[in-house]
């Protein structure tokens, strides 16, 4: 579904990614791990066209390399940034409507407001509330739901559990599992190994701007080399 080959990207003047290679398949959750500054968020932003990058990003056989961010999103990639980036001054419902894709996607399933409100009852109760008045957990729910309203086939989620209560993390995990059941691919950027243990089919470890491990999470935990790259 997604093939990344020899991807290079900078943050400001700093070269962060140095020839990144990996792939994702439909219905697969891949966890992207690495110490702080390893390039996890840079990878997400580069895939979405939010940073200058060069290399090859092939999505279902089409090259995304030169596409701007809005075209990448329309191609079927959804992004939940670490910063959440909800639209303050707009209500929950208005935020979600802004996520609706302008294209009609041919899918065996289709995310809609009623289903997302059922998955996250707290959002349903606050649908007419301004996003700036939501808690951190509610803003994270809103950011995930807004991305799903675009009907993506690949969802890139950056640090979804950061600062959230265990109950909210459990809700998010259920939704990500549902995404996988519907055939979506998920790139999960997350420091909490518990969430990766619960969800990930495969793990990528970043080090030196490259993938230094690609495989099973339990195998990674036994690897001294991986532990070295994961130490903060």
Where is 116: in which H helix or E strand? helix 113-119
pLDDT at 21: 97
Q: How far apart are the first and last CA of the chain?
A: 32
Pair 3, 65: CB distance under 8 Å: no
pLDDT at 79: 96
Q: What is the tens place of the pLDDT at every residue in 80-114?
A: 998 888 999 999 999 999 999 766 555 667 899 99
- Token digits of residue 1: 């579904």
pLDDT at 106: 56
Domain parsing of the chain, residue ranges: 2-230
pLDDT at 59: 95
pLDDT at 188: 96
Q: How many other C-beta atoms are found inside a 10 Å radius of the C-beta of residue 42?
A: 24
What letter would DSSP give residue 128? T
Q: Which CATH superfamily is domain 2-230 in?
A: P-loop containing nucleotide triphosphate hydrolases (3.40.50.300)
- Residue ranges in the chain modelled with pLDDT below 50: 232
Where is 20: in which H helix or E strand? strand 14-24
């Amino acid at each position: 579904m997604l093939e990344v080959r020899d991807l290079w990207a900078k943050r400001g003047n700093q070269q962060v990614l140095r020839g990144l290679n990996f792939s994702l398949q439909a219905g697969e959750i891949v966890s992207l791990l690495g110490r702080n500054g390893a390039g996890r968020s840079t990878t997400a932003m580069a895939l979405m066209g939010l940073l200058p990058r060069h290399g090859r990003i092939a999505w279902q056989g089409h090259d995304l390399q030169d596409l701007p961010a809005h075209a990448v999103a329309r191609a079927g990639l959804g992004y939940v940034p670490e910063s959440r980036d909800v639209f303050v001054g707009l209500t929950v419902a208005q935020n979600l409507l802004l996520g609706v894709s302008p294209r009609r996607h041919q899918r065996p399933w289709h995310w809609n407001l009623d289903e997302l409100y059922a998955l996250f009852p707290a959002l349903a109760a606050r649908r007419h509330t301004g996003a700036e008045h939501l808690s951190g957990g509610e803003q994270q729910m809103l950011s995930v739901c807004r991305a799903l309203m675009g009907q993506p086939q690949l969802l890139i989620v950056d640090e979804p559990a950061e600062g959230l209560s265990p109950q909210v993390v459990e809700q998010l995990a259920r939704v990500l599992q549902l995404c996988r059941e519907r055939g979506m691919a998920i790139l999960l950027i997350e420091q909490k190994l518990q969430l990766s243990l619960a969800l990930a089919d495969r793990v990528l470890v970043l080090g030196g701007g490259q993938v230094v491990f690609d495989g099973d999470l339990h195998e990674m935990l036994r690897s001294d080399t991986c532990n070295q790259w994961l130490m903060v």
